[in-house]
Amino acid sequence: MEPMTMFLCLSIFLLSLLTWKIHKKRLQLPPGPFPLPLLGNVLQGTTVLYDSYRKFYEKYGPVFTIWQGSTPLVVLCGYEALKDALINQSQEFGDRGIFALSGRLTNGYGVLNTNGERWQQLRRFSITVFRNFGMGKRSMEERIQEEARHLIQAVQDTGGKPFNPVHLLGRAVNNIINLTVFGRSWGYEDKTLLKLVNVLNNILLFIRTPLGVIYAAFFKIMRHLPGPHQKIFHDSEIVKSFIREQIQFHRDTLDSNSPRDYIDCFLIKADQEKDLHSSEFSQENLVNTVFELFLAGTETTANTMQFSLLAIITYPHIQERVQKEIDQVVGSDRLPGIADRPQMPYTNAVIHEIQRFLDLAPLALPHMVTQDTVFKGFRLLKGTTVIPLIGSALRDPAHWETPEEFNPEHFLNQNGEFYMCPAFMPFSAGKRVCLGEGLARMEIFLFFTGLLQKFTFTSANQTDTFDLRTLRRAFRKKGLVYKLRAIPRTCTLKN
């Protein structure tokens, strides 16, 4: 037999064997589109699952399987399925599934992409530190209000001329993380700050690109191939090098009786447990946890703020009504505070609707089944990777009157009081709910109300128009560059 014929016969045999193995495995999983050998479903719209899930949902129901290369992923759609998995069966669905990009960026350290004792110790510690340093308390509120003053001044300096708000908002949000982690902030034109923000944005941008999807599907091969995808891992070391320098400075100036920030608290905890074999408070866990806090906590909140300005420009009557409420409750002598939020139901509803409609992170990070379990009539084996499609809850027609429309009334009852719909879960839910949810919610409220107290925002040109349904896709992928005007206003003093 000729070599070429032998090669073809061998290839056909291996392909048939792989197809049979996939078919056998499919029989043990929820239904879904038939995967191609090696490729899986990447050619069937699953690379943008948040846009294509409806056709799969209609055909297969709220639980279906797609294949990323040769790896099956069980997708959960709709509020009821998400609630049952993430909240009612949080123990069974509580582990982190394999996320190749994050895993390589952090090398198995940190809190975002880990399980077991490492995850438990670091998450418990982080939540405690955030609370002690004021997450949900006055001290953190004061820090955010101080940063809001710097942001307001930077906007004031534009003099009512067209400007791009993207960089100002990104730097303001990044400085909140800086204050929490490093105990200090940087000026908006500081080269170090600009470099870090740029690197972090590039990493997150790559994750959403087609090349990023291909890397995730074929990471065992892609990690060894040259190409532009290798740049983000090189760039991540720039951020980690900066973090290590800051850790060393903190170690040299540490006062165990007066911790200044997250790093100080971590170093104190590490010293307390230095002789404890099971302790996870190591240098690498500190570096990578701080790296994750930056990665997860900067772009998402900054993009939400950017989209919020687009929303109020698109709907000036909403902006006017928010400003009226701010004027009546707060006045002009001080910045809005968290204590004002219960008296500002419409403003609170607008902020929540911005987050719901934007649906910035429609796919939660992968979860993994911790034990064999039955879910919605399907038997899921231990180790099965699960993708909670958070965006499907934010657009579930069973819970939202007009799910495809921007409508703050979604969060108001018949008496005009704020109402929290249970299907609102932009930060995910259950054991793996976003670690920085409280901080992000505080930032968005204080920045948004502080800016609208001082300015009326308009498009850069009267002829500019925005379609929010189209633009939200841009934010999910690579953000959006646009210009607007901020016109200083004198608010009506509260009655």
Residues 6+ apart with CB under 8 A from 404: 395, 469
Residues 6+ apart with CB under 8 A from 147: 172, 175, 176, 179, 185
N- to C-terminal Cα separation, the chain: 95
Task: Determine the Cα–Cα distance for residues 195 and 198; give it in Å rounded to an integer.
Answer: 5
Task: Determine the Cα–Cα distance for residues 141 and 352; give it in Å rounded to an integer.
Answer: 19
- Specify burial of residue 381 (Cβ count, 10 A radius: 0-12, 13-18, 19+): exposed
CA separation, residue 253 to residues 175, 176, 177, 247, 264 (Å): 21, 22, 20, 10, 9
Report whether 89 contacts 72 (CB < 8 A): no
Point out the annotated binding site for heme: 434
Report the b/e string of 390-428 with b at 16+ CB within 10 A.
bbbbbbbeebbeebeebbbebbbeeeeebbebebbbbbb
Point out the annotated binding site: 434
Task: For the chain, give the longest Cα–Cα distance.
Answer: 95
Q: Which 3 state secondary structure label does DSSP give 462?
A: coil
